[in-house]
Amino acid sequence: MRILVLGGDGYLGWPTALHLSRRGHDVGIVDNCVRRQYDHEMGVDSLVPILQLHQRVRLWRDVSGLNIDTYVGDLTDAPFVDEVFDRFEPEAIVHFAEQRSAPYSMIDRRHAVYTQVNNVVGTLNLIYAIAEHDPSIHLVKLGTMGEYGTPNIDIEEGFIEITHKGRTDVLPYPKQPGSFYHLSKVHDSHNIQFACRIWGLRATDLNQGVVYGQETDETSLDPGLATRFDYDGVFGTVLNRFCVQAVVGHPLTVYGKGGQTRGFLDIRDTLACVELAVTNPADKGEFRVFNQFTESFSVRQLADMVADAYPGRVEIEHLEDPRVEKEEHYYRAAHTKLLDLGLVPHLLGGPTLRSVLAVADRHRDRIDPAAIGATVEWRRTASRLLTAEPVLD
């Protein structure tokens, strides 16, 4: 199959492109490389050093004998999108090409506007290009479990059956996003669903949980094929932060009570889920939603697991939560559709945690302790980049 991976220079996009290439698909990467610019803006860097995109692609060709086409440009540029479609003629598209950090979207007005324009307009250009070039192209779009929020009822996979005043219908599951980034994902879902209904497109929305891990079968073939590892306060994930803090002897910083519960999955399962969605496409006119995670953990559970897995002494410290979120809540989400398609999960246990800790330890000389702390405060309405400890109103 001819598959375009949008955002193919990113944390998930790069290993996804390699995985699909190795599985025999013709792969093209589209990226504007802006993710690297965010590091310069924030004054941080990937813990694991990564090559430039063209260097990566050349190395992949040398290591595997397989070629990946590259197109450098922006999805908000409609003529560029059309040109890529004309040149590559995709049969399926995997869409990772969005600003994906909730804290980044909450820094201030400029970052919120940028996030929504980049994400929503880019996706709109994409669905228009599919409709105009080839409506049979299957769009696999990375969504987020954060679209749902933390309702006091079970979270279904995209849709819920409602009975109201004696009448029943199946409706999109209510959304309660927690940041302007998550709101952009909700807008994407609505726009894509509308295009499927009106234009007969076919799309799969992968509402993904928090991904952990840095090594895949393909990236492990050569150090130069590595994907990034983010641990900073803006783009880093909670498990990465805890592992880095354990390695440098810093207390694991749990925000608030630590009862915030989310879905999680191994990076290798992300690749498997994407491939399952691509090779089992939606029907014409169908907008389907898969909840893409394998297990649920609270922040405090993750801290305890890291403390147990790390061979040295680890302390856990509770800080005031810089976000506006429930610190204790009900959380039960369905995630059966990908399992039904054949997903065999890698579950989070001691060996996996020790492998992430080992990555952090190998690159401990690149850890910047100043980058670890929270630097964005949800409650402030002016400049939200903090220079010291979080200040709560």
- Positions annotated as catalytic residues are 144, 181, 185
Beta bridge partner(s), residue 71: 30
* Nearest one of 83, 69, 191, 188 to 132, comparing CA atoms: 83
Q: What's the CA gap between 92 and 359, in Å, rounded?
A: 33
Which one-letter DSSP state was computed for residue 47?
A: S
Maximum pairwise Cα distance, the chain: 64
Q: What's the CA gap between 115 and 55, in Å, rounded?
A: 28
> C-alpha distances in angstroms, 351 versus 113, 308, 310?
41, 12, 11
> C-alpha distances in angstroms, 327 versus 299, 300, 317, 320, 324?
9, 10, 15, 10, 9
Q: Please name the amino acid found at residue 379.
A: R
Q: What's the CA gap between 306 and 301, in Å, rounded?
A: 9
Q: Is 146 within 8 Å of 184 (Cβ atoms)?
A: no
Cα Rg of the chain, angstroms = 20
Q: How many residues does the chain have?
A: 393
Provide the token pair at 5: 């991976």
